Amino acid sequence: MIKRIGVELKEGCDISGGDLAIKSLQDMIDFDEILSIDPGLIIDEEPLFLHAVSDLNTRLKRVVSQSLKEGHFPLVFGGDHALAIGSISASLTKDTGVIWIDAHGDCNTVESSPSHRIHGMPLAVLQGYGHPKLTHLNDTVLNGVDILQIGIRSLDEEEALLMKKWGVRIISMQDIKSEGWKWAKQELSLFIDHHPRLHVSFDCDSVDPKEAPGVNTPSKNGLSVREVLDIFDTLPFEKVSSMDIVEYNPTKDDEKTKAMILKIDALVHLKRGAL
């Protein structure tokens, strides 16, 4: 059974509208559980809204962990990408590979981040580099070599150096342009073959804003919706233990992004339901 979990979160990115994703999707998606930020924890601090984001991720980890214990497939919708700290820490094992489909690296540390926004830090946190209020959620530490990023085209300078140091595998948009889509899928298949268990985290801004404008931080020259659906169709769902679909901002959408999310949800339902 797929358990759909909605997370109303904008504090990780501090951009209005990111917390409205779940309300926008509720007319088409039946959420089993919805989590929201505790407004009493929103204070001016660095990283931005640390205590509120930490609290929400703690609760999300609990919900995802329980879902996995019950034999369900947790599919988390958001909300900004800071929620991946909770969803991935709940499902992470030593043999898990994380497929991160995104325009951005999200590997900033507290020290390297120009914005101090936590939605740019989840992969660093999951590797143990971050504020203790966030890293304390890690029962298992993610290794950089167990991360594959697809669609990357916007990295901070210091962040890029950290990713190289940690051994994060990147299939950038420049790589796809020069090597071709067939090559990118071969690289994805190699990563999948080396990991018996997978978590997939899909950021809507991985897609070109001409096709998916409803995101918090758009970046031009991205993946096409066709390519994204091809990735999901390729995934061996018997290996995929959990998944996120994040960074949808309905206030910036013209219904294209929502339509894409619904197509992904339907494809996941079809492929996961066949197991």
Give the tens place of pLDDT for each residue, 166-209. Answer: 999 999 999 999 999 999 999 999 999 999 999 999 999 999 99
Indicate the pLDDT class of residue 99, thresholds 50, 70 and 90: very high
Domain boundaries, the chain: 2-273
Contact 22, 77 (CB under 8 A): yes
By percentage, how much of the chain surpasses pLDDT 70?
Answer: 100
**Tell me: the pLDDT tens digits for 224-239?**
999 999 999 999 999 9
Specify the residue for token string 């992904």: 264
Q: What would the 3-class secondary structure string for the chain be?
A: CEEEEEEECCCCCCCCCHHHHHHHHCCCCCCCEEEECCHHHCCCCCCCCHHHHHHHHHHHHHHHHHHHHCCCEEEEEECCHHHHHHHHHHHCCCCEEEEEECCECCCCCCCCCCCCCHHHCHHHHHCCCCCHHHHCCCCCCCCHHHEEEEEECECCHHHHHHHHHHCCEEEEHHHHHHHCHHHHHHHHHHHHHCCCEEEEEEEHHHECCCCCCCECCCCCCCECHHHHHHHHHHCCCCCEEEEEEECECHHHCCCHHHHHHHHHHHHHHHHHHCC
User: Choosing from 11, 19, 80, 106, which is the catalytic residue?
Assistant: 106
**Is 106 an annotated catalytic residue?**
yes
Q: Which residue has the higher pLDDT, 273 or 154?
A: 154
Query: Which listed residue (119, 208, 244, 265) is catalytic?
Result: 119
Give mean pLDDT, residues 152-164: 97
- Of the candidates 8, 19, 80, 81, the residue annotated as catalytic is 81
Q: What is the pLDDT of residues 1-57, one digit of tens each?
A: 999 999 999 999 999 999 999 999 999 999 999 999 999 999 989 899 999 999 999
Catalytic annotation on 156? no
From the list 8, 208, 227, 247, the catalytic residue is 247
Position 137 scores a pLDDT of 98
From 8, 11, 80, 104, the catalytic residue: 104
Mean pLDDT, the chain, rounded, equals 98
Q: At 273, is the pLDDT very low, low, confident or very high (cuts 50, 70, 90)?
A: confident
CATH 3.40.800.10 fits 2-273, yes or no: yes
Give the model's pLDDT for residue 135: 98
119 belongs to the catalytic site: yes
- 81 carries an active-site annotation: yes
- Identify the residue whose tokens are 């889509």: 181
Catalytic residue (one of 205, 227, 244, 265)? 205
Candidates 19, 80, 102, 265; catalytic one: 102
CA torsion sign for 262, 265, 271, 275 is negative
* pTM above threshold 0.95: yes
Cα dist from 113 to 47, 121, 124, 176, whole Å: 9, 8, 11, 27
User: Does 275 have pLDDT greater than 90?
Assistant: no
How large is the average pLDDT for residues 155-160? Answer: 96
